[in-house]
Structure 1
Amino acid sequence: MDDLMHDAAERMEKQGERLMIVVAALITVGVVMAAATATRLDRPLMEAANWQGALGRQTVYAASAFLAMLVASRLHVRWFSWRPGRGWQPSVALLGLAVALLAVVWLPSMGHASHGRARWIDVGLITFQPSELAKPALVIYLAAVMGRRRERGAAETSEPAQQRPSTWAVVPVVLLVCGLVGVEDFGTAVLIGGVGGLLAVVGGCGGGALLAWALPGIAGFAGLLFMAPYRWERLMSFWTIWEDPQGSGYHAIQSLVAMASGGWTGRGLGAGVAQYGYLPEARTDFVFSVLCEETGVLGGLTVIVLFITLVYLGLRIMTAVAEDDRFARLCVFGITATVGLQAAMNIAVVTVMAPTKGIPLPFVSSGGTGVICFAASTGLLAALARRTASGVRSEGVAISAAAPAEPVEGWNVASA
């Protein structure tokens, strides 16, 4: 039996290591694509110092991401869980920081605009995108709220058990989505709303709580479409891209042309032509199109397989965590769902299976904030896998990432 438990612990620990290897491979692909798309008809970029060029910047970001992932993989993740009686909750502080940074974007002296949209904070040599921090911050917060145990004596309060966790879960999501819509980051708003809804379902929220998630989202989406006619036109143009190839359909058509021209094996790294002004956002939102042009269908499928593997490993880690540790299980699921859903959204857009909307491909698109935050998030999954393996070795059973808070009679996790 001891040998079986030891083998199970070894397998669990390797799941975390394999996850980090997959993430490292995706980050490396991002650096390679930054190098492949560095040659552009862009004088300011060509005249910049080497370390500020596309390849130099992405290499620095990749190194920072590797470090963030390694540090996160050694953290005691349970520290973020909700602990009654503690003077402050780390998950609330992290989410509050993300919301505050989103508010700073609105300040003229701090906000940095690109393509007419202020989504970044300018801090001198670098810019920071708060919405990327908001993704893991919200997941950790929701996992803490939905997975917490009630304090002793709370059952005697007049407030229903179901109401408190659901209310505290819905309100931050609505605030974040509204803030993202305010800076016209609709792709991230949809992502956060979707991940929040998935966590509500997996967390066992009741029908009333699910309606509280769904109704504001549906009403808000409809309001956005009708308040700004151009959004409705953009949505409708998705079905008729070939009717306006130089206008509303340009982005989608150029993406298809780039991917189709790569064939099975591609033109070769750096030999693509889409980045020379034909395909907008070739380094970021549409990097997958350039990747398919230069490495072919085989290269694109390889990246897709890496993302599928990442999601699979994340779900394996989740199922290994003890069922009574809702925080750890929801945290793993939320981070895995965020990466998987964002990758699916990006690939759906560039393959014209969904309307064009700017959202980067995790780990691969150029940029610093996104790759570092995602790498740190997946490092937390590796940390949970490592601590679960340690628990198997010491106790002989799958246990939580740390000792779960003492359950209280009358608390129903499904009410979270």
Structure 2
Amino acid sequence: MPRSVAQHRSLLAIDPLLGLLGLALILVGLIAISSASIEYGDWHYGNPWHHTQRHLVYILAATVAGVITYRIPVGFWEQTGWAWLLVALALLVLVLVPGIGKEVKGSQRWIQLGAFTLQPSELAKVALVIYLAGYMVRQEEEVRGNWRGFLKPMAVVGAVALLLMVEPDFGATVICAGTAMGMLFLGGVRLGHFLLMLLVGLLGLVALVFSAPYRVARLTAYTDPWADPFGAGFQLIQSLIAFGRGEWLGVGLGNSVQKLFYLPEAHNDFVFSIWAEETGFIGAMLVMGLFAALIGRILWVARQALSQGQKFGAYVCYGTALIFSGQAFVNMGVSSGLLPTKGLTLPFVSYGGTSLIMSCCLLALVLRVERSLDTQGGRTRG
């Protein structure tokens, strides 16, 4: 068989379990968004399928981005991690420039690109994972051995967090900081260094919460949403009603009542609530199971890569697992009243082009790492 044909087939032979789990979550997202956005799209755009059509375009763009990412060797990402970090930082600065950044409900998080918008914070998460993975490989002894090796990447994380808080985007800040801390911990940083920085980080988060009145209001609404049922607690109450109406088997796809302008913009951060209302406890557990299986498989790939000395690939997988698990936990926790209200997308499921594209790129990176594993008697596969 010609070498070029063999290489082409190798690139197409992705891990079936990872691929199917990612595809299943994307399909769940398409179904959930289609149902949750019908009335909203009809009222605001005169087209009940407005968001469904746009999301299909996002899926196509995410698929193309994922394929391109998968076809690029892992070594390229390791060598260019610093460049992607600079691009992400530049975009985080650019989004704050008046006239360039788009402000929605007091937050300036988006850059308008024609009919679509770019959310730099989503790119920053991916760039941070790639950069930290490369740094931890290059400076492994320094990271594990002294404060300087630990503080250098934390300074980078601090710069990213500062730019995110200026927008402000508290949710993305928590995910970026948590992912970085998790990667460094898994990379072998000293426990004392880690615990001290964790304490500083927690104190910083508490200070940030109480520094803004709207965050305090969200915390108050979380502890007792019925104290202000038509104000700060309205969104959480409507979400809890959606969960309650779903019971075991749900009210049926398309039959949600809460999406009829009770739950504001239900196709975005609270799409899981509508899914739970329409498919019930069984449907909600299905999505949780898909995320658990996906994250478990990614961690398995990380473990295999680490055992074969592919540390950069392992750290990328760890970072990806931390982002997916962190965002899924926060999004589902907020929807079910477990956590205070926070604007974070559910990976692969929530409406949003940048989030979906970056999620597919991260999954493609993991798939590429998996293809490079030595599983055929000492021969590397991809």
What TM-score, normalized by structure 2, do the two folds share? 0.89
Report the alpha carbon displacement of residue 216 of structure 1 after superposing the two structures with TM. 4.4
C-alpha separation in 2, matches of 1:313 and 1:15: 13
SS of aligned partner of 1:121: strand
**Counterpart mapping for 1:154-233 below 5 A:** 162-207=146-191, 209-210=193-194, 213-233=197-217
Is 1:352 the equivalent of 2:337? yes
Task: Work out which of the residue numbers 54, 58, 75 in structure 2 matches 1:57.
Answer: 54
SS of aligned partner of 2:38: coil
Report the alpha carbon displacement of residue 284 of structure 1 after superposing the two structures with TM. 0.9
Q: Any conservation in 2 of the 1:120–1:130 contact (CA below 8 Å)?
A: yes
- Uncovered stretches (5+) of structure 1, i.e. residues with no partner: 1-12, 82-88, 403-416
- Uncovered stretches (5+) of structure 2, i.e. residues with no partner: 1-11
Q: Any conservation in 1 of the 2:144–2:190 contact (CA below 8 Å)?
A: no
Match of 1:66? 63
Match of 2:8? none
Is 1:392 the equivalent of 2:375? yes
C-alpha separation in 1, matches of 2:169 and 2:252: 33
C-alpha separation in 2, matches of 1:108 and 1:48: 32
Match of 1:326? 311
C-alpha separation in 1, matches of 2:271 and 2:144: 49
Report the alpha carbon displacement of residue 161 of structure 1 after superposing the two structures with TM. 6.0
**Counterpart mapping for 1:105-144 below 5 A:** 105-144=95-134
SS of aligned partner of 1:73: helix
Report the alpha carbon displacement of residue 47 of structure 1 after superposing the two structures with TM. 3.2
Q: Any conservation in 2 of the 1:145–1:165 contact (CA below 8 Å)?
A: no
After the TM superposition, which of the residue ranges 232-241 and 137-146 deviates more from structure 2?
Answer: 232-241
Match of 2:27? 28
**Aligned partner of 2:59: which letter?**
A
Q: Any conservation in 2 of the 1:283–1:366 contact (CA below 8 Å)?
A: yes
C-alpha separation in 1, matches of 2:310 and 2:168: 37
Match of 1:86? none
Task: Work out which of the residue numbers 61, 74, 79 in structure 1 matches 2:76.
Answer: 79
Q: Any conservation in 2 of the 1:28–1:62 contact (CA below 8 Å)?
A: no
**Counterpart mapping for 1:357-396 below 5 A:** 357-388=342-373, 391-393=374-376, 395=378
Match of 1:407? none
C-alpha separation in 2, matches of 1:238 and 1:71: 42
Q: Deviations for 1:11-57, whole angstroms, at most 9, x for unmatched residues? A: xx98832112111111111111221123225567433697xx20110
Q: Any conservation in 1 of the 2:276–2:283 contact (CA below 8 Å)?
A: yes
Which of the two has higher C-alpha Rg? 1
**Aligned partner of 1:310: which letter?**
L
SS of aligned partner of 2:71: coil
> CA, structure 1 residues 289+369, in 2 after alignment: closer, same or farther (shift >3 Å)?
same
Is 1:95 the equivalent of 2:85? yes
Report the alpha carbon displacement of residue 233 of structure 1 after superposing the two structures with TM. 3.5
Is 1:269 the equivalent of 2:253? yes
Q: Any conservation in 2 of the 1:68–1:375 contact (CA below 8 Å)?
A: yes
Match of 2:17? 18
C-alpha separation in 2, matches of 1:162 and 1:39: 55
C-alpha separation in 2, matches of 1:48 and 1:112: 24
Match of 2:138? 148
Q: Any conservation in 2 of the 1:140–1:331 contact (CA below 8 Å)?
A: yes
Match of 1:302? 286
Match of 1:104? 94
C-alpha separation in 2, matches of 1:14 and 1:337: 25
After the TM superposition, which of the residue ranges 126-135 and 240-249 deviates more from structure 2?
Answer: 240-249
C-alpha separation in 2, matches of 1:120 and 1:281: 17
C-alpha separation in 2, matches of 1:209 and 1:14: 42
> CA, structure 1 residues 65+220, in 2 after alignment: closer, same or farther (shift >3 Å)?
same
Report the alpha carbon displacement of residue 212 of structure 1 after superposing the two structures with TM. 6.3
Q: Any conservation in 2 of the 1:170–1:213 contact (CA below 8 Å)?
A: no
Q: How many residues align?
A: 370
Report the alpha carbon displacement of residue 132 of structure 1 after superposing the two structures with TM. 0.6
**Aligned partner of 1:303: which letter?**
V
Report the alpha carbon displacement of residue 230 of structure 1 after superposing the two structures with TM. 3.6
Report the alpha carbon displacement of residue 209 of structure 1 after superposing the two structures with TM. 3.8
Report the alpha carbon displacement of residue 165 of structure 1 after superposing the two structures with TM. 3.2
Q: Any conservation in 2 of the 1:16–1:383 contact (CA below 8 Å)?
A: no
C-alpha separation in 2, matches of 1:60 and 1:277: 25
C-alpha separation in 2, matches of 1:290 and 1:91: 38
SS of aligned partner of 2:108: strand
Q: Deviations for 1:88-137, whole angstroms, at most 9, x for unmatched residues? A: x4101101111111111111221112222111001112100011111111
C-alpha separation in 2, matches of 1:288 and 1:230: 24
Two-structure CA RMSD over aligned residues (Å):
2.6
> CA, structure 1 residues 260+95, in 2 after alignment: closer, same or farther (shift >3 Å)?
same
C-alpha separation in 1, matches of 2:88 and 2:64: 21
> CA, structure 1 residues 228+54, in 2 after alignment: closer, same or farther (shift >3 Å)?
same
Decide which structure has greater helix share: 2
> CA, structure 1 residues 278+164, in 2 after alignment: closer, same or farther (shift >3 Å)?
same
What TM-score, normalized by structure 1, do the two folds share? 0.82
Report the alpha carbon displacement of residue 365 of structure 1 after superposing the two structures with TM. 0.4
Match of 2:321? 336
